[in-house]
Amino acid sequence: MPKIDKNNVLEILGEKVMPGKGATINFNMAKLYTTTSVEVPVIIERSKKPGPVVLLTAGIHGDEINGVEIIRQIISKGINKPRIGTIICIPIVNIFGFLNMTREFPDGRDLNRVFPGTKHGSLASRFAYQFVKKILPIADFCLDFHTGGAARFNAPQIRVKKGDEQSLKYARIFNAPFTIHSKTITKSYRETCSKLGIPVLLFEGGKSQDSNKEVAKVGVEGAMRILSHLDMLSNKFDYPDVHQETVVIEHTTWMRAKYSGLLHIKIPCGKHVEKGEYIATITDPYGKFRHKIKAGNSGYIINVNESPIVYQGDAIFHISLPAKTEEAHDED
């Protein structure tokens, strides 16, 4: 189990990292069919001064590039070199999926559905187990970056469990455009962090296999606000003042396609729409059919299906609901 001893020396993954030093340690869990080792770089930066340990992760789903880009920028700009404490960055947790641009592990399992894992289970479960035993316990705070699945584009948002006032406080500090109340999914990384008593923020922004500059900007600046709040951000860094506070959304619903066909989106993700507002069109490929889609209620569009083709019943928009209405929604 990782630890920081009385002399402020960090012991993790069988190595020691001294105060004021940095290290890249490879978390080696498995091999490819060719016996080639697959290594997960764990990038550690430490201040000489004791302080919190913040763990930044992305790529738990291998095809989610925006989170990888957020942490890449944090490292490239030196934001991960703390004024006090320790910052651990893992830009790509699921290297297997990243190599193949797939969401899952090679065994077909979703890593974010097998935490905290088992010692002798499937490959994904074994990886989760080792991660939880050898890396996670050292963290005092976690930031985990995700995107929408497939062609579903998420407006930049933080997910928090309803009633979790501590997470809501941190979400307001991060200040993504939206903060959404979201149930914790069983066997997810977020649930495991919560059970260990480690504060965690789940960031969602953009879509799979896509890199978006605006989403990355929101993620980097939000991380900087959290580090600043923890007194860990170097004095040489600055970020824009908050001009608009995060919009907290308690309830949401999905609007689904009534017909199959070509989908033409008419509004940007993140927009506030009024009930009955024209937001998309579904057509056939032959110029014979055209169906206008109108908002079923007033609210913020927090997810847009950017696929050019949809089937009847496919989710098209994720939209906020008035506070008195409640419907379940998916989490990454």
DSSP string, 33-99: TTS-EEEEEEEEEE-SS---EEEEEE-SSTT-HHHHHHHHHHHHTTTTS-SSSEEEEES-S-HHHHH
Query: What does the pLDDT average to over 249-258?
Result: 97
* The two three-digit tokens of residue 166, written as one number: 């501590």
Tokens of 180: 């959404």
Output the domain CATH number for residue 312.
2.40.50.100
Q: Are residues 141 and 173 in the same domain?
A: yes
| Cα 148 to Cα 22, 39, 61, 62, 329, distances in angstroms | 32, 26, 10, 12, 13
Question: What's this model's pTM, rounded to 2 decimal places?
Answer: 0.95
What's the structural domain count of the chain? 2
Q: Determine the Cα–Cα distance for residues 290 and 266; give it in Å rounded to an integer.
A: 14
DSSP 93-120: S-HHHHHHT-SS-TTS--GGGSTT--TT
What pLDDT is attached to residue 327?
A: 55
73/15 same-domain check: yes
Q: Report the CATH number at residue 68.
A: 3.40.630.10
Q: Same domain, yes or no, for 86 and 144?
A: yes
Tell me phi and psi for residue 144, to 5 degrees.
-120, 125
Question: CA nearest 57: which of 162, 128, 155, 160?
Answer: 128
Token pair, residue 294, equals 């109108």
Tokens found for residue 238: 């600055």
Give yes or no for a contact between 117 and 102, defined as CB atoms under 8 angstroms apart: no
User: Are residues 223 and 255 both part of a single domain?
Assistant: no
Please indicate, yes or no, whether residues 274 and 309 belong to a single structural domain of this protein.
yes
**Alpha carbon distances (Å) from 289 to 259, 260, 286, 306:** 10, 11, 8, 20
Q: How many CB atoms lie within 10 A of CB 3?
A: 10
The last residue of a domain, from among 229, 264, 298: 229
Q: Do 285 and 225 sit in the same domain of this protein?
A: no
Residue 330 domain flag: no
281 and 145 within one domain: no
Domain that holds residue 17: 3-229
Beta carbons of 9 and 19 less than 8 angstroms apart? yes
Digit-coded pLDDT (tens) for 148-186: 998 999 999 999 999 999 999 999 999 999 999 999 999
Q: Which residues contact 197 (CB under 8 A, 6 or more apart)?
A: none
Mean pLDDT of the chain: 95
Q: Which of 163, 194, 229 is the last residue of a domain?
A: 229
pLDDT in tens, 58-117: 999 999 999 999 999 999 999 999 999 999 999 999 999 999 999 999 999 999 999 999
Say what percent of the chain tops pLDDT 90.
90
| Residue 161 and residue 295 in one domain | no
Distance of alpha carbon 132 from alpha carbon 197, whole angstroms: 13
- 305 has pLDDT over 80: yes
**188 and 305 share one domain:** no
pLDDT at 32 (0 to 100):
80
